[in-house]
Structure 1
Amino acid sequence: MSMRRLILAIQFLTRLPTPQVKDFQHDELSRSAVYYPLVGAIIGALLALPLYGLDQRPWLAAVLALLLWVWVTGALHLDGLGDVADAFGAAHRDPQRFLEVLKDPHMGVFGVVTVVMQMLLKFVLLAELSGSPWWFGIVLVPAWARWGTLWWSQRLPSLHASGMAERFSWQLSLRAVWGWAAALAVISVLLVPPLLLALPLVPLIGGYWRRRLGGISGDCLGASVEVLETLLLLALVLLSEIALPGA
């Protein structure tokens, strides 16, 4: 493991304190992407703390987990979700218009409403998940979503020649992408089978972007992370009545 690249991955995806990296090279950001699923698991482990410690008070556990989720990620993917919602709302199925609106740094009504609804949905799902048999699955939810960014960046062309999606895929190894998929799948099979839904969901989301826009951008990656996380939380909640072995 390259500790330097892991630190860069943590710095890019979170607000967690890390040692300073000296003599930074731009290609290192892309190379550090191989550790994104691991950073996702670190995020998930932090989110598990209030769900475990306050399992008898699910609403309090949920709001604390949500606040922690927003803080530790710096609302990075929520910002992408809001921008994409604004672009879709104003594009009227015109891909060129979509890209033009996406460049606007200001968030409009579509974006605000979408972010609020996303936060509300995550809050309710976290409350439902707290104290359920699959509560610990929250550790793997962000990990699967960050694996999704690797897959989408590898399989879809970037909509911008020098955009964020391009930087993700620049030095990415396909072997590493599938290695993480195998590792997460094995852990999910053993501990949280509902999260195996990530394996078909990630290509389905990628297929949507390919059909709709012909590629993907950094904002689209962020929106996809939010959508995938919500769908995986929903799977954990809806399948929570499945009895665990030995329970």
Structure 2
Amino acid sequence: MKHLVLALQFLTRLPLPAVQADAQDFAKAMRWFPVAGLAVGVAVALPWWFLGWLLQPRDPWLGALAALAGWVAITGALHLDGLGDVADGAGAAHGDRARLSAVMADPHVGSFAVVAIGLQLLAKLVLLHALAPAQWPALVMVPVLARIAPIGWTLFLPPLHSGLGSRFREGVSRLHLIGWSLAAILAAVLTSPALLALFVAVPLWGWWLRAKLGGISGDGHGAGIELVETALLLALVLLP
């Protein structure tokens, strides 16, 4: 239970009691990231369904905006921050990995970050509007499945530095990845086969990280979660 609480504290802004934990406990919290994603999924799908489809007159745009606001609020824009850092680094580095790392570590927000975060929010808003009412179970699962991805990236990509990207490595194993992958397949069978796009999006982002950055970091995890979520939404719209 401690590890689940730590996962919820790290990935959400839910008011939870403080727990005593060491570095090993924190590493093991990654095993529970997908469960924390369930809390995010509910925070997204509930306002989307209630404001977009239950109330009269129905307004899918209002539901989409409420869902997006819930998405940002419950995560505290944590992953958007990672997306912005990666965008700034990739945009300014011009292939120089040392410069890329320096730019990503800079706390200032550049124009690439602003554009990337703006486009990401706009993409989610449009895709949330395009979803059909019957797709609400699949919408709940989108944040869940996206938070399986960091387990894979942690296991198969080298850490860039001794930060968040490496802190989880000792807390997960391939057995955890296999178990959650089977759960993802079951979720796709029960809700929408389009969610199987997870198994394309996750390796693609891992390949990009390896080719451009050389490994994984906390920012790489955050950006990847955001992009995988958008990829799954797009799959639900194009392959309902």
Match of residue 41 from structure 2: 44
Match of residue 14 from structure 1: 12
TM value normalised by structure 2: 0.94
- The Cα shift of 1:46 comes to 2.0
Match of residue 4 from structure 1: 2
8 Å Cα contact 2:47/2:70 also seen in 1: no
1:87-117, CA deviations, whole angstroms, 9 ceiling, x for partnerless residues? 1111011111101111101101111111111
Match of residue 32 from structure 2: 35
- Inter-partner Cα distance in structure 1 for 2:145 and 2:84: 21
Q: Would you say 1:97 and 2:99 are equivalent positions? A: yes
- The Cα shift of 1:192 comes to 1.2
- Inter-partner Cα distance in structure 1 for 2:158 and 2:48: 38
Q: Would you say 1:183 and 2:180 are equivalent positions? A: no
Match of residue 143 from structure 1: 144
8 Å Cα contact 1:51/1:130 also seen in 2: no
Q: Would you say 1:68 and 2:44 are equivalent positions? A: no
- Inter-partner Cα distance in structure 2 for 1:180 and 1:27: 21
Gaps of 5+ in 2: none
Q: Would you say 1:53 and 2:50 are equivalent positions? A: yes
- Inter-partner Cα distance in structure 1 for 2:200 and 2:234: 15
What fraction of aligned residue pairs are identical, expressed as a percent? 48
Match of residue 90 from structure 2: 88
Gaps of 5+ in 1: 241-247
1:21-64, CA deviations, whole angstroms, 9 ceiling, x for partnerless residues? 1x321221111110001111221022111222132311111111
Structure holding more helix per residue: 2
8 Å Cα contact 2:31/2:171 also seen in 1: no
- The Cα shift of 1:9 comes to 0.5
- The Cα shift of 1:214 comes to 2.0
Structure 1 stretches of 4+ moved >4 Å: none
Letter of the aligned partner of 1:48 in structure 2?
A: A
- Inter-partner Cα distance in structure 2 for 1:187 and 1:26: 31
Match of residue 155 from structure 2: 154
Which one of the candidate residues 128, 143, 149 is aligned to 2:130? 128
- Inter-partner Cα distance in structure 1 for 2:129 and 2:137: 13
CA shift in 2, pair 1:219/1:33, >3 Å: same
- Inter-partner Cα distance in structure 1 for 2:171 and 2:191: 32
The CA RMSD over aligned residues, in Å, is 1.2
- Inter-partner Cα distance in structure 2 for 1:66 and 1:196: 23
8 Å Cα contact 1:6/1:32 also seen in 2: yes
- The Cα shift of 1:178 comes to 1.0
